[in-house]
Structure 1
């Protein structure tokens, strides 16, 4: 199909997408979805067509679940073009995506909205935009509710956004730490738990996130349970998080010393863990020995009693 023919089809479909008939709208949007699914050139043509993106955004709020899903699918296709990511991530688009995340018409809509946020946030310049537009708060609120098919996609979007320092602060102040801890405790899926832990590690890079973790009740004991689990990536994340906690607060080290099997778990990981986990396990054991040596000098050793 020639460029002229494709452009004519795009214009025709955009016109039909405004029809009062759901059937006509669906057919038009399905055609646009097919046109933009595999061709970067076609995505550019659609994005450059006057009124195309505003029309698609309007359909997100005032249409049936099927129309909303099709519109999101097209916008996601457009976001795959690196040159379109910045222009797509304007405040109007973000506002519409926040709306869909908090009030999805279907699980598919929520998945696509989260995927679109993640795709747009891969451009570092866009991360701050989402932070100031309320997307962090929307994502935290969405994942704090009942687990649905979109949970992993929502967490992945949050993980992408908190790579930016300013968004970490917003996430912590929005209550992300207790929400993520609860997901790890309540979910049966290692996937969600692993992603939640990865986000906590990102938050712990900065003082506000680290302090929120330190204030979490039984955080060291909980991380020990993660270290005992089967998922090697989660073990690696837990070990990384414990290193940050031990470096920041001696009380966390003493909490670990008070747990009878903590040293045995670390010893096992230092031999049988992944390379990164072994390295972190050794650091944790050294920190425990150093802290307990001070206690030994004071006449109250804990580590050496084992």
Structure 2
């Protein structure tokens, strides 16, 4: 079964918070929720569900003198541990790096977090240069900036980094991920409902989908005609001229886009048929284009 393997590096503000976080996760990994709850209360976060997802499995906890590393597996469609990161940043976490290996596609992705925000790799190491030897020992010689051109070892360390266009809070990122997942689920359900409705009406789902695509193409042409009419009427003289031209476009453009979409869907079936007919007409001729004479044996 395919799964996603998560490696989460946690860097706390002070050694006390680090030790408490270590105890919380070691007890959680061992299944001792009573002791984990005790230390979670000391951390300031009494809700274990916010720190630990019941869907995680193959959990491992590695305690280092200066940071804590969690490793666990999830299903391919499970969420990133953003809820846990959000809770930890509110209770003593200073920085974190999440690395996810997607077994289904064989790819690795790394995200950097600092002060409760998802930031770029470069911004992360500019603020936390002390963690470069820990996270990317091969890239240390090149500095926290970009790797040297052609340096494959250095590139292997951070080439998988996923950077945001601009820093974004973990809370906002979690909300965006939840919205994206919800919209994807709704889209999948809509497709299933559409197929069921087509089946009940006796219409092929493929034909129904073609009708939707043609309708969308027609609406695109109509929208362009409306925009053209409004702009020209407002900017140029000749109200009735532009209005009349807009009405013509309101008919022509939807038909044009619908015809183009229909041709894209159907492909070049007409050309293929023409080629077949041409080949058939050549069957009764020799290589020079003349009729073939058949000699019958008597």
Same fold (TM over 0.5): no
Instruction: Give the TM-score, by structure 1 length.
Output: 0.26
Please say which structure displays the higher CA radius of gyration.
Answer: 2
Instruction: Give the TM-score, by structure 2 length.
Output: 0.27
Report which of the two has the higher share of helix.
1
Name which structure has the greater RCO, CA cutoff 8 Å, separation 6+: 2
